[in-house]
Structure 1
Amino acid sequence: MIYTVTFNPSLDYIVSVPGFELGKTNRTESEQLLPGGKGINVSILLNHIGIESTALGFCAGFTGEEIKRQLQVQGIHTDFIQMENGCARINLKLQNVEGTEINGMGPAISEEKTKELLERLDVLKEGDVLVLAGSIPASMPDDMYRNIAARMEGKKILLAVDATKDLLVNVLEYHPFVIKPNNHELGEIFGVNLSTKESVVPYAKKLQEKGARNVLISMAGEGAVLVSEDKSVFMAEAPKGTLINGVGAGDSMVAGFLAGWMKSHDYKEAFRMGVACGSASAFSEYLADSEMIEKVYNQVQVNECK
């Protein structure tokens, strides 16, 4: 079973407001209210390609109930911890205003509730996959990812981590199965600017030296790179298509990589599926469906670099 953790889920209120003007009353042309959060995105994409997962995290208030309701309607298993106070956040996304977003704070997570999450993760067993994705609320300890990785050590689970800076670096000693920084996040870790596929490879290998098994780097229009634990380096150009919505593309890549690996146990195939899912979501209004993924998959060309 794949388990995804979203520490700060959201309802994403996505609106189209043509001709938006500050200081005036603006009216929407279209609007959507969808569950959001990086781990949740992974679960949704996996569901679209027929792979079961369980979404964990924290939910509160009427917004939390709506997040759970929408996921359950899609057939996704949920095991969220219910908070007594506050509400799951609402993120406002203005589609017509250069990707402008206003993201909510979310509820404060108590030490007791944090402990409850850790105890729920104790059910994971050999062969399960745990996805830790995204930021953590300010009320939680900043070594939360590391604490979870340490708790999972020795259980022979596959840990996937999609996070930035210290959240990511601090789990490397526990040998995560796959980490997915983008090229900017990778450069930020090492204080360098990385703009080409070739330039990211040495730094991906440095993360392997620190403990990561596989390093998957997304590079938007430049494509993607995988440095695998068997020392292979795979590169792919970005498939051709119209960028509609970049939100969730990285999460879709993580989901696709895991799905590809579970089906084939082949890193080249896992990488190809990851690139296909990430790009397909970028070409979709929401997270990609199976039809779009198959269409993009047939375009993806993977090269192995010696």
Structure 2
Amino acid sequence: MIYTVTFNPAIDYVVRMEKDLLPGMTNRSSSEEVYYGGKGINVSMVLSELGLKSTALGFIAGFTGRAIDEGCKEAGIDTDFIQLKEGISRINVKLKATEETEINAQGPKIDEAAQKELFDRLSKLVKGDVLILAGSIPNSLPDDVYEKILSMLDGKGIEFVVDATKDLLTNVLKYHPFLIKPNNFELGEIVGKVLNTDDEIYEGALKLQEMGARNVLISMAGDGAMLVDEEGKRYRIGVPKGTVRNSVGAGDSMVAGFVAGYMKEKDYGTALKMGTAAGSATAFSDGLAKAADIEKLYSTL
């Protein structure tokens, strides 16, 4: 079974406007959309599109939390969220006009009892399960929560996928995650230099493997992506043609596509193509990628 963790899920309320926001004035929208999000949930949504079941874990609160839970279930995702006693899950407002403006809410406080409940649920994972940890953590959680989770599960035969930045990522490499997905700028921050060429990016990925990572997937926006597999082999891919409409969830979609591609075919080249197709399909859509769009782009790579 695949499990995703979203520590701070959100309802993304997308408001489209024909003119840019005028502060201090009454503004009118041209359309509105609602998405149920958070990086782990995004991964689960795209996995579902690609025919893979997953269970979404994390914390929800209030009426917005219940809406997130129901939205995930309607999308075919199994959920095992922990309901917090106080607060509400976030509503993030995203204003899209000529310019894009975002207001991201803070989210509810996660108390120690809820944290323990999450660890109790994660402790039941077994050999062969896949655990995907993605994104930042809210202020009410300890900075080393990723590390604590992987430490607890280390040695149980669970495959870890980690999509995080800086210390959140580097501190878990000693647990040998199956896959990590920095972008080229994040990779440069970790290794302490600007990476301008493919060879420099490859050398940076090898350094992360020396620290414990198995497969390193580096996204490079319009320049495509590179995979350095656990044998040190380098794979390079471009991006399909299309008009970028949306950047939210593209990285999460790439993770989902890679995991789905590898689990189905056990081939890293296929996984990279599927990850690239899924990430691009989201970038070319208003919301998260749909299966038909992913397959169409996959066939062009």
TM-score (norm 1): 0.96
Q: Show the 5 A alignment for 1:134-173.
A: 134-173=135-174
Per-residue deviation, 1:23: 2.0
Per-residue deviation, 1:194: 2.5
In the other structure, the counterpart of 1:17 is 17
In the other structure, the counterpart of 2:107 is 106
Per-residue deviation, 1:199: 2.6
Q: Which residues of structure 2 form unaligned runs of 5+?
A: none
The one-letter code of the counterpart of 1:237 is G
Asked whether the equivalents of residues 276 and 296 of structure 1 are also in contact (C-alpha less than 8 Å), the reply is yes
Deviations 1:228-274 (A, max 9, x none): 00211000011111101111010000001100110111111111111
In the other structure, the counterpart of 1:7 is 7
Per-residue deviation, 1:119: 0.6
Asked whether the equivalents of residues 197 and 222 of structure 1 are also in contact (C-alpha less than 8 Å), the reply is no
Deviations 1:24-64 (A, max 9, x none): 11111111111010000000001111110000000000110
In the other structure, the counterpart of 1:303 is none
The one-letter code of the counterpart of 1:263 is K
In the other structure, the counterpart of 1:284 is 285
Backbone CA RMSD of aligned residues: 1.0
In the other structure, the counterpart of 1:304 is none
Give the whole-Å Cα distance in 2 for the aligned partners of 1:91 and 1:123. 32
Give the whole-Å Cα distance in 2 for the aligned partners of 1:120 and 1:43. 18
Bigger drift between 164-173 and 190-199 goes to 190-199
Deviations 1:114-151 (A, max 9, x none): 11101100111111100000010101000000000101
In the other structure, the counterpart of 2:271 is 270
Per-residue deviation, 1:94: 1.2
Give the whole-Å Cα distance in 2 for the aligned partners of 1:98 and 1:207. 36
For these two proteins, the number of residue pairs brought into alignment is: 300
In the other structure, the counterpart of 2:89 is 88
Asked whether the equivalents of residues 6 and 132 of structure 1 are also in contact (C-alpha less than 8 Å), the reply is yes
Percent of pairs identical after alignment?
Answer: 58
After the TM superposition, which parts of structure 1 deviate over 4 Å for at least 4 consecutive aligned residues? none
Give the whole-Å Cα distance in 2 for the aligned partners of 1:204 and 1:97. 37
- SS of residue matched to 1:14: strand
Q: Show the 5 A alignment for 1:190-229.
A: 190-229=191-230
Give the whole-Å Cα distance in 2 for the aligned partners of 1:198 and 1:43. 33
Q: Show the 5 A alignment for 1:34-73.
A: 34-73=35-74
Deviations 1:5-37 (A, max 9, x none): 000000000110121222211111111111010
The one-letter code of the counterpart of 1:4 is T
Question: Quick one: structure 1 residues 194 and 94, their matched pair in 2 at CA, closer, same or farther if it must change by over 3 Å?
Answer: farther
Deviations 1:256-303 (A, max 9, x none): 110011011111111111111111111111111111001110111xxx
Bigger drift between 16-25 and 156-165 goes to 16-25
- SS of residue matched to 1:85: coil
Question: Quick one: structure 1 residues 17 and 35, their matched pair in 2 at CA, closer, same or farther if it must change by over 3 Å?
Answer: same
Bigger drift between 183-192 and 201-210 goes to 183-192
In the other structure, the counterpart of 1:238 is 239
Give the whole-Å Cα distance in 2 for the aligned partners of 1:200 and 1:99. 30
Give the whole-Å Cα distance in 2 for the aligned partners of 1:259 and 1:106. 30
TM-score (norm 2): 0.98
In the other structure, the counterpart of 1:261 is 262
Give the whole-Å Cα distance in 2 for the aligned partners of 1:64 and 1:97. 31
- SS of residue matched to 1:288: coil
Asked whether the equivalents of residues 179 and 216 of structure 1 are also in contact (C-alpha less than 8 Å), the reply is yes
The one-letter code of the counterpart of 1:285 is D
Question: Quick one: structure 1 residues 197 and 247, their matched pair in 2 at CA, closer, same or farther if it must change by over 3 Å?
Answer: farther
Give the whole-Å Cα distance in 1 for the aligned partners of 2:98 and 2:92. 15
Give the whole-Å Cα distance in 2 for the aligned partners of 1:261 and 1:34. 27
Per-residue deviation, 1:195: 4.0
Per-residue deviation, 1:66: 0.5
Asked whether the equivalents of residues 42 and 251 of structure 1 are also in contact (C-alpha less than 8 Å), the reply is yes
Asked whether the equivalents of residues 197 and 224 of structure 1 are also in contact (C-alpha less than 8 Å), the reply is no
The one-letter code of the counterpart of 1:250 is G
Give the whole-Å Cα distance in 1 for the aligned partners of 2:195 and 2:101. 25
The one-letter code of the counterpart of 1:272 is K
Give the whole-Å Cα distance in 2 for the aligned partners of 1:72 and 1:237. 34
Question: Is the aligned partner of 1:119 residue 2:120?
Answer: yes
Give the whole-Å Cα distance in 2 for the aligned partners of 1:97 and 1:198. 37
